[in-house]
A = this chain, B = another copy of it.
Amino acid sequence: MSGGNEGKMISGKTVAEHNTRESCWIIVHGKVYDVTEFLDDHPGGSKIILKYAGKDATEEYDPIHPPDAITTNLPPEKHLGAVDQSSVERVEVKITDAEKERLARVDARPPLSEILNLHDFEAIAKLVMTEKAWAYYSSAADDEITNRENHIAYHRIWFRPRIMRDVTRVDFTTKILGHDSSMPIYMTATALGKLGHPDGELNLTRAAAKHGVIQMIPTLASCSFDELVDGAKPGQVQFMQLYVNKDRAITKRIVQHAEERGVKGLFITVDAPQLGRREKDMRQKFDDEGANVQKGDASVDRNQGAARAISSFIDPGLSWKDLDWFKSITKMPIILKGVQCWEDAFIAYDQGCAGIVLSNHGGRQLDFARSGIEVLVEVVEKFKEKRGITFPRPGFEIFVDGGVRRATDVLKAVALGATAVGIGRPFLYAYSSYGPEGIDQALTILRDEFEMNMRLLGAPTIKDVVPDMVDARSISTHVVAVPGDRLYDSNYDSMQSATLKAAAKAKL
């Protein structure tokens, strides 16, 4: 996989001379690469590379690329050889005051025993992650309406619990595509896992093993695909998320490699022909780079470039007629991730997919796309009405992701017909705030919540979590309050409770 210059040794001084847009060499993990021609194709823009022209870029490179990204993307002849490390001038890393404060916050994290729910991980992650990482993970499309809708849509669904049922033992194990899962959830694919923790997605692989849940390996992981498969325990089930490449040969190679390595399900992302603009993330980058960015300079190109670059890798031409080809290259069950209306659910069903994920990509793609849980109600209803089919249903499984924070959220989806629910950000926040213990604790919390809430629902097993247990009639009501009457409101004197005696109050 490496080039033909493996044996060659280059001095740091030589590298340092290639520090311009015209000739740009960088060092990554002790190897020297000529990236001059790659500058304009870099998904992250040329500017960030030029910052390290002639220097060691490893520290910047690691959290956002799998180890093999550079060797995969550069032709072998651009792999110039090894660098003589002793001759490389160390880039002095200045720890800013902001970073010092962040590190102090890391030290001040509360003990893990005080983390009571998934929200708590997010609260701590927000305080202890780097701004860049937080912005990347938390940001979403446009005004982030869909992003928040994903969560609050669950609040429009209420329970109708049953009583007087023997719930001495509750069992929330289930089957996902025929494989055991200890709970009706799975770890959905999310990108750039090392931004939050040096072990990246491996944190998830290991916790998945321990807790008996299934991880979906992302195309854009920080760890390489093989690292994540190698990290699994014998027999541990993993799925794979796929961005389809314009170059179908690459896609074929990836898919068949995954199948060979034992991956049990292929989740093809269909909601991202072009990656969304996430303004919070973009704004963070401006902050990062100071105020000296001017109109027309590289930063603009870079931002436009990110979209363009990724468009040139992800195929916006992917269409229904590609499905047969996929079936011809793999025996893995194929699931479409990002279905958003019943019409497309029907096509997927008719074309022999093994399932669909009702998802809007965590609100990161089309703003005002509906939440997965809302689409679930529509899809299940239409399948019943037009095909007489009910869910959950082996052979064609429906998954949902986005906005989940509590086991009750998951149980609502299950009651409405979902096989399982994908959880993404909460797990990132769990290991970003507390490392491996964090993700372990997150899964423990969920397990406890499942046990408690299935008891309270009167459902001893997942099969007992049925449609009658929820009232979802308000799910499609998208209400925006009439704009307030500001003058009336400012005139209204709010009611006041009884309070302490004035004199005493002043003294207290």
Contact = CB atoms under 8 A, between A and B. Distances in A.
Interface of A: 101, 104-105, 107-117, 119-120, 122-124, 126-127, 134, 138, 142-145, 147-149, 151-153, 155-168, 270-274, 276-277, 279-280, 282-283, 286, 291, 293-297, 299-300, 304, 307, 315-320, 322-323, 336, 338-341, 343-344, 347, 365-370, 405-406, 408, 412, 437, 448-449, 451-453, 455-457, 468, 471, 473-474, 476-483, 485-488, 490-505, 507-508
Nearest to A347: B164
Given A370-B471, A408-B367, A495-B280, A483 B295 contact: no
B483 A481 contact: no
A161 B366 contact: yes
Contact of A493 (B113, B280, B300, B478): B280
A297 B113 contact: yes
Contacts of A504: 104-105, 107-108
Contacts of A148: 483, 492
Nearest to A506: B108
Contact of A482 (B147, B156, B304): B156
B491 A119 contact: yes
A325 to B, nearest CB: 13
Contacts of A490: 123, 497
B295 A493 contact: no
Contacts of A166: 316-319
Contacts of A142: 117, 406, 408
Q: How many copies does the complex hold?
A: 4
Contact of A113 (B105, B293, B347, B500): B293
A118 to B, nearest CB: 9
A340 B162 CA distance: 7
A151 B145 CA distance: 14
B145 A485 contact: yes
A113 to B, nearest CB: 5
A101 B508 contact: yes
Contacts of A368: 155, 157-159, 408, 412
A155 B282 CA distance: 24
B119 A487 contact: yes
Closest CB pairs A-B (n = 9): A108-B504, A123-B497, A148-B483, A119-B487, A366-B456, A120-B498, A108-B500, A163-B270, A168-B317
Q: Which one of A147, A456, A499 has the greatest number of beta carbons of chain B within 10 Å?
A: A456
